[in-house]
Structure 1
Amino acid sequence: MKILKIYIDAYSGLSKESWMLAIVMLLNRMGSMVLPFLGIYLISELNFSLEQSGIVLSCYGIGAVLGSWLGGWITDKIGNFKVQALSLFLSAPLFLILPYFTTVLSFSIIMLILSTISEMFRPANSVAITRYAKKENITRAFSLNRMAINLGFSIGPSMGGFLSNYSYDLLFYCNAAAALIAGIVFVAFFYGRKERNSAEHESKDFKQNEVKERNAYTDMPFILFNVICLLFSVAFFQILNTLPLFYKDVVKMTQSEIGLLMGFSGFIIVVFEMLLIHYTEKKYTITKLLVFGSFITAISYSIFSFNHTIGMLYLAISMMSIGEMLVLPLMSTVTAFRAQKNNRGAYMGLNGMSNAAAFIISPFLGTHIATSYGFDILWILTSIVLIVVAIGYHFLTKPLLPKNLQ
């Protein structure tokens, strides 16, 4: 009964708009079965080399950076509703045509275009969360959204592992269908809906030094914070790029086994994220949680360098999930508190760019290190970077937050 009460407390008070934004994100990310298997597809189906695969994945990252910047900039101009709808409805046909691109150059170009369009969704969606969430539940609203992402990521790769045994084209078609359905549900619910925290009536909790409005791209404390976020993402997103290749080539797992292991991470987050955030936000500051989340992620990657038994692999992915639960939602929370009423899109876009840039650096750097020095060295270096990140969060997060949250 006590556990049930904790669950009820964790989910209570969230607005229906916050729930619907999470549902739209879930529908969209249920189609997220392509990315974890994209490197395998490029190598096994299109006969790309490991480094050529890294180049294509880096092009996805370039598009993600462009999309995050463009999405944030346009959101401040035309609003989050139009940007989210545009991103969802344009992504669907792009996923459909992916199987027709079979060269390194052509696949790199289409991935650049696709990721630009699809990643415009993220900053607009983050702004929508701040507009519709109740002011006292901002972190939990972001956590609910993250939980939806991970539930979709749990379902998507698990299905993808089985579908790819029959046809990789099915992965692309399912992604297209998921984006289309998400777009329809989003427009049906949010069209004409009034925002809870409009720019004109925003809560004082999000106003800081309104006499002189800051520019996100010249706000040096925030830029330094995003550098640390970038380093975390470069390390963490090996989970999407080189880790599936490690499972396949070193551990000798089948694609179905890879899908189940990747899906297990999403399952852990779906079950425990809201409980973890609900418990820790009352006892620890945001800075302490970011530091601990980065440190435990470092430990999880270090496990891969010395033990490949199935039990240790599941332990490592579980620890990595805890780190993700603590760090990724709080990046958005810090950004929301630092932003001001008329430039939230720019701030969310810049923070999104720090994550998106990891999609450029992470696959290229990860595959290069794995090819040249082996996966064990890659995991050791990844752990070292994450320890540096933990130290960085300790010193760079506090200036961006109100004193009671530092």
Structure 2
Amino acid sequence: MRAIRGWFRDTTGGLPRTFWYLWTGTLINRLGSFVLVFLAIYLTQERGFSAYQAGLVLGLWGVGGAVGTTVGGTLTDRWGRRPTLLTAHLGGAVMMLALGFAHELWAVGLGALLLGLFAEAARPAFGAMMVDVVPERDRLRAFSLNYWAINLGFACAAVLAGFAAQAGYLLLFVVNASTTLVTAVIIFVKVKETRTITVSAPTGVVPVGALRTILTDRVYLLFVALNLLGALVFLQHISMLPIAMSDSGLSPATYGSVIALNGVLIVAGQLFVPRLIRGRSRSHVLALAAVVMGVGFGLTAFADAAWFYGLTVLIWTIGEMLNSPSNATLIAELSPGELRGRYQGVFSLSWQLAGAAAPILGGLVREQAGNATLWLGCAVIGLVMAVGHLLSGPARERRAVALRTVGVGPVVTPQSTAPQPAAPQAAEPVATTRQ
């Protein structure tokens, strides 16, 4: 018992109060996140859209999210974290209800586009605020705890949504909008602004413009590109997996129970992951995560029963559990303080581009080449990601060390023939994260 108390104290102790308010808002919001889980089934069964049309609507959600993360990242740095979060949550709640009442394809598509814009505009602000308030030594724990809350809510939402859908799909939209409003209230009442003014760069260091900084940061952009590949695979569980299970004769409630295994496994094991991967090469962890995730999705090509689909979910969930905290801490270490919101926005943009492309590409591949080709292609992408992480990892670690040493973003300095220092082993080495 004493060992359990010690583990709990080591896992949750010492984190700032603002973090726990954000954590609570995340949990409440995810408990009501019914809509995205069942949107593909809702569009094909309730609205009578084809798989391609459903993929198009989900793609428009992603397009809106891409705009939202870009705008949200800029507002986060210029306007502030708190007002950006409040505006995004209030707008998201309104558009959630509007989408629930939309019927025609154009109206559903427009609703999805605007909902994606507001919902994803909050992501850079939330990520920047987490980095603002949590010291570097505690970020691995904090991001793991937040990811745990996301998936606890997701697991419960997936099961409850399956039964709520039987009472009427409109209920899903109403509950989702309500929990989003509750999160906005928590932020309004309990969370203060965390943005600070960044000090000037040291003498001899010439900072470049914000946009140019990001566009010339090849190390970070390659990291974002690898995440984009992973997101294209991962988001098939929202778009094409429910359709594949429906083709196998399985009900929406069965899909809800199967996909809930993802959240259940993360809730049961995610808090142990930081200790498991602590002290290990982040590049190796990310490469292993990519292989495991690719294998899990690849096996879906052979699934034809609920237990088999459940097994594939458990496998790719292990890859997700390894990937998320490593991604989250790398984003924090590779983001200059004065551009933190915009760097967070660019990373989130990879998720939104995948959100737009994954359902459309998945639907096209499935209709043109077949179900098996889609899932085996996911396995191939996982292997490509693994190689990419192994090759690009050393450069990422050198960049993280340089940012910690200099304290600013990518800089223009005179070329030096001196060798760059090797990346030291971080105290806690290892993130939307499920989205």
Is the structural similarity TM-score above 0.5? yes
Tell me which interval the TM-score lies in, with the shorter structure as reference length. over 0.9
What is residue 290 of structure 2 aligned with on the other side?
294
Structure 1 stretch displaced more, 56-65 or 9-18: 9-18
What is residue 325 of structure 2 aligned with on the other side?
329
Structure 2 unaligned segments of length 5 or more: list them: 402-422, 430-435
Structure 1 stretch displaced more, 92-101 or 225-234: 92-101
- CA shift at 1:183, angstroms? 0.5
- CA shift at 1:7, angstroms? 4.1
Structure 1 unaligned segments of length 5 or more: list them: none
Cα separation, 2, equivalents of 1:16 and 1:293: 32
What is residue 272 of structure 1 aligned with on the other side?
269
- CA shift at 1:18, angstroms? 1.9
- CA shift at 1:131, angstroms? 0.5
User: Cα deviations across residues 318-357 of structure 1 (Å, max 9, x unaligned)?
Assistant: 1211211221332232121111111001100000001111
What is residue 221 of structure 2 aligned with on the other side?
223
Cα separation, 2, equivalents of 1:307 and 1:243: 11
Q: 1:210 to 1:339 in 2, by over 3 A?
A: farther
Q: Which amino acid aligns with 1:34?
A: V
- CA shift at 1:3, angstroms? 5.5
In the alignment, is residue 260 of structure 1 matched against residue 257 of structure 2?
Answer: yes
What is residue 151 of structure 1 aligned with on the other side?
152
Q: 1:130 to 1:243 in 2, by over 3 A?
A: same
What is residue 232 of structure 1 aligned with on the other side?
230
Alignment of 1:342-381 (within 5 A): 342-381=338-377
Secondary structure class of the residue paired with 1:111: helix
Cα separation, 2, equivalents of 1:210 and 1:41: 54
Question: Structure 2-normalised TM-score?
Answer: 0.86
Structure 1 stretch displaced more, 373-382 or 96-105: 96-105
User: Cα deviations across residues 36-84 of structure 1 (Å, max 9, x unaligned)?
Assistant: 2111111111111111111111000101111111111110101111111
Q: 1:377 to 1:97 in 2, by over 3 A?
A: same
Contact map agreement 2:301 2:375 (CA 8 A) in 1: yes
Contact map agreement 1:332 1:348 (CA 8 A) in 2: no
What is residue 207 of structure 2 aligned with on the other side?
212
User: Cα deviations across residues 268-311 of structure 1 (Å, max 9, x unaligned)?
Assistant: 1122112112331x231221211111111011112212243443
Q: Which amino acid aligns with 1:43?
A: T
Contact map agreement 1:142 1:329 (CA 8 A) in 2: yes
User: Cα deviations across residues 166-201 of structure 1 (Å, max 9, x unaligned)?
Assistant: 20000110111010011101211113x6x4x84548
- Tell me the number of residue pairs that the alignment of Structure 1 and Structure 2 aligns: 397
- CA shift at 1:241, angstroms? 0.9
- CA shift at 1:161, angstroms? 0.5
- Higher radius of gyration, 1 or 2: 2
Contact map agreement 1:337 1:400 (CA 8 A) in 2: no
Structure 1 stretch displaced more, 302-311 or 170-179: 302-311
Q: Which amino acid aligns with 2:325?
A: P
Cα separation, 1, equivalents of 2:95 and 2:155: 23
Contact map agreement 1:29 1:153 (CA 8 A) in 2: yes
User: Cα deviations across residues 244-283 of structure 1 (Å, max 9, x unaligned)?
Assistant: 1111212x22211111111121111122112112331x23
